[in-house]
Structure 1
Amino acid sequence: MGLTYTAERAQEIADNLAGVKAKLDETLQSKGTSTQTARLVAVSKLKPASDILAAYEKSGHRNFGENYVQELEEKSKELPGDIKWHFIGSLQSNKCKVVAAIPNIFVVETVDSAKKATTLDKACAAAARSEPLRIFLQVNTSGEGSKSGMLPSGALEVAQHVVSTCSHLKLAGLMTIGSPNPDLENGENPDFKALNECRTTIQDALKINDLELSMGMSDDFERALLQGSTNIRVGSTIFGSRPPFNKTAA
């Protein structure tokens, strides 16, 4: 892929990252809760590995998100081993072995069924990972047919399945994309509210209290933070617009 970048490009990315981080910090401070923290995932899909290395070296950034398994696999081999990779695309069952074999995969954010969890669990066992792989359950809170994810009503059942039968996975949180143009109710995004409610239901039922919420992207991450997001996924604001998708990269 090539890892050479210009000083100008590195500075551009650094400035963009700093801008997002400043908004993140300002938004959390506005809530008046000094204890809440949130992770910024720089979504680097369809961007060259050199952009990631620029963010890594110039800004010290470590969390990056990829949507396509082949692209993630290639970048993970070429880039530093302490990068924390987030897989945030639709995960096909036949790609689970590839993802599970990536040593520094930090979390798979898009597990959307018990069957997918079982397949990924078996893949992790075969890869002999040293510790359970963190996963988020993807919940389709907007009910849009174009989006992946289980309905909120099915999230508890899948969570129970993961906790009780998938010993090579760690249930770490919930993820949603949400509607691009939600009708705000009392200033709240109903899709983000629904994910919060899912978390409460699961935590109460399973007697756990540390599930993360991955919600919020370039256009709505500040609203997501106000509604409790602990993991925001921002791409174009950091790296700029993306080239057209090439299906061979999936």
Structure 2
Amino acid sequence: MSIAAQIKKYKDELPGDVDLVAVSKTKPNEAILEAYEAGQRIFGENKIQEMTDKHEALPKDIEWHMIGHVQSNKVKFMAPYVSLVHAVHKLKLLKEINKRAKEEDRVINCLLQLKIAEEDSKYGMEADEALKILKSEAYQEMNHVKIVGLMGMATLTEDEQKINTEFAYLKGKMDEFSKEFPALTTLSMGMSGDYQIAIKNGSTMLRIGSSIFGERNYN
């Protein structure tokens, strides 16, 4: 199936309140343009330099999401244009995003990444740490970042019950936090292999890559 056909399939299948982030990491500009011409406007990247190069070359109404682990020293490169940072895993990073957004006279939306999988390779903070950030004076004083929700990555497994449990936990934390912090409206969970389980558990944003663009070539 072509990229355009895959975009159409997802647009037809997904509930109206679920946003599709087309994860275009390692993919050429031509592939992104094919998705763009099929109506896709939100694209996710996991390397700031690659995202910046694509931002400069591609249509300016594309909404770029940084979905990967962020190194503080690279934040300045994406600060002029990034729409949403999915993987904020500590207060120090939030402070850096705020500082760089201030220089650009922008407010950058961010998600706090909770660790919901058992795998050591997955980044993220514990729920009580996230709550501490939301309640902190440091965050309350930031005028150039806005925490708009939570993000999490489930364990890479065939065990659907396990994935379901992890997503249900994240949704529970979202419900709990949003009672006190109503700005939390975005729940980014679900990828190519588990997005249907994520939708059942209340995801509002999916990060879909390989099933739109095909397998990645990291060589």
State the TM-score bracket (shorter-chain normalisation).
over 0.9
The alpha carbon displacement at 1:73 in A equals 0.4
Q: Could you tell me which residue of structure 2 aligns to residue 218 of structure 1?
A: 192
The alpha carbon displacement at 1:197 in A equals 1.8
The alpha carbon displacement at 1:183 in A equals 4.8
Over 3 Å counting, the alpha-carbon distance change for 1:234 and 1:188 in structure 2 is closer
Residue 44 of structure 2 is aligned to residue 65 of structure 1:
yes
Structure 1 residue ranges without an equivalent (≥5): 1-10, 29-35, 246-250
Residue 3 of structure 2 is aligned to residue 13 of structure 1:
yes
The answer to whether the Cα contact below 8 Å between 1:141 and 1:152 also exists between their aligned partners in 2 is: no
Tell me, in whole angstroms, the C-alpha distance in 2 between the residues paired with 1:184 and 1:42: 23
> Which of 62, 86, 91 is 2:65 aligned to?
86
The alpha carbon displacement at 1:184 in A equals 4.8
Residue 116 of structure 2 is aligned to residue 126 of structure 1:
no
Tell me, in whole angstroms, the C-alpha distance in 2 between the residues paired with 1:125 and 1:192: 34
The alpha carbon displacement at 1:216 in A equals 0.2
The alpha carbon displacement at 1:136 in A equals 0.7
The alpha carbon displacement at 1:135 in A equals 0.6
Which digits, 9 at most, give the CA deviation of each residue in 1:9-52, with x for residues without a partner?
A: xx81111112223332xxx4xxxxxxx61001100000001111
Over 3 Å counting, the alpha-carbon distance change for 1:142 and 1:153 in structure 2 is farther
Q: Could you tell me which residue of structure 2 aligns to residue 109 of structure 1?
A: 86
Q: Could you tell me which residue of structure 2 aligns to residue 235 of structure 1?
A: 209
**Match runs of 1:167-186 below 5 Å:** 167-181=143-157, 183-185=159-161
The alpha carbon displacement at 1:182 in A equals 6.9
**Match runs of 1:139-178 below 5 Å:** 139-161=114-136, 163-178=139-154
The answer to whether the Cα contact below 8 Å between 1:163 and 1:171 also exists between their aligned partners in 2 is: no
Q: Could you tell me which residue of structure 2 aligns to residue 53 of structure 1?
A: 33
Q: What is the count of residue pairs matched by the alignment?
A: 218
The answer to whether the Cα contact below 8 Å between 2:147 and 2:183 also exists between their aligned partners in 1 is: no
The alpha carbon displacement at 1:169 in A equals 0.6
The alpha carbon displacement at 1:209 in A equals 5.7
Residue 18 of structure 2 is aligned to residue 38 of structure 1:
yes
The percent identity for this pair of structures is: 37
The alpha carbon displacement at 1:143 in A equals 3.6
The answer to whether the Cα contact below 8 Å between 2:190 and 2:203 also exists between their aligned partners in 1 is: yes
Normalised to the residue count of structure 2, the TM-score between the two structures is 0.92
